[in-house]
């Protein structure tokens, strides 16, 4: 079983590459709220739906003070294709060695078609202005997740 983050935990810091080759460091975003979501693979149906939902909600989430970071094990080149193909506006980060996913409890055993496998656990963690975990959601559904997240955070629907 993977250690999962819980409200009140300090979010593990990371520096990862974006699809444009820039680096994003979580601690550089202190002072604002950050939604970090982990997804298995770019350009798969569920992950595309989830990324498009976040992208469509991005402006209102920014207005509410949130930065959104999507993290997958995909290489930056694949993330760039994903962004272009789906016209995504959010920041996509590459965690090719899955070290960040593991530290955040978003990689480990999961059930896939009735079998237990090692893989990315679709997860969303909300980090507050001080770098502490405010909410941690694991095994989230790709479809409808952003709307549910907005409700959980007490934000109005778009």
Tokens 């520096």, residue?
Answer: 15
Q: Which of 16, 24, 47, 125 is catalytic?
A: 47
Specify the residue for token string 């975990």: 133
- DSSP for residue 156: P
- 47 belongs to the catalytic site: yes
Q: What is the DSSP string of 3-47?
A: PPP-TTSBPPP-EEEETTS-EEEGGGGTTSEEEEEE-S-TTSHHH
How far is it, in rounded angstroms, from Cα 72 to Cα 147?
21
State the virtual CA torsion across 91, 92, 97, 99 in degrees, nearest 10. 40
Task: Supply the residues annotated as catalytic.
Answer: 47
């Amino acid at each position: 079983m993977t250690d999962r983050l819980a409200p009140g935990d300090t979010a593990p810091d990371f520096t990862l590459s974006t699809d444009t080759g820039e680096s994003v460091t979580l601690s550089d975003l202190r002072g604002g709220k950050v939604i970090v979501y982990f997804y298995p693979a770019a350009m798969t149906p569920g992950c595309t739906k989830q990324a498009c939902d976040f992208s469509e909600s991005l402006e209102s989430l920014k207005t509410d003070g949130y930065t959104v970071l999507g993290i997958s094990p995909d290489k930056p080149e694949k993330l760039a294709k994903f962004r272009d193909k789906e016209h995504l506006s959010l920041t996509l980060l590459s965690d090719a060695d899955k070290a960040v996913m593991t530290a955040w409890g978003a990689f480990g055993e999961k059930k896939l078609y009735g079998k237990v496998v090692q893989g990315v656990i679709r997860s969303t963690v909300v980090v507050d202005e001080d770098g502490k975990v405010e909410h941690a959601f694991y095994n989230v559904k790709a479809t409808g997740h952003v709307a549910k997240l907005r409700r959980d955070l007490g934000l109005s629907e778009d």
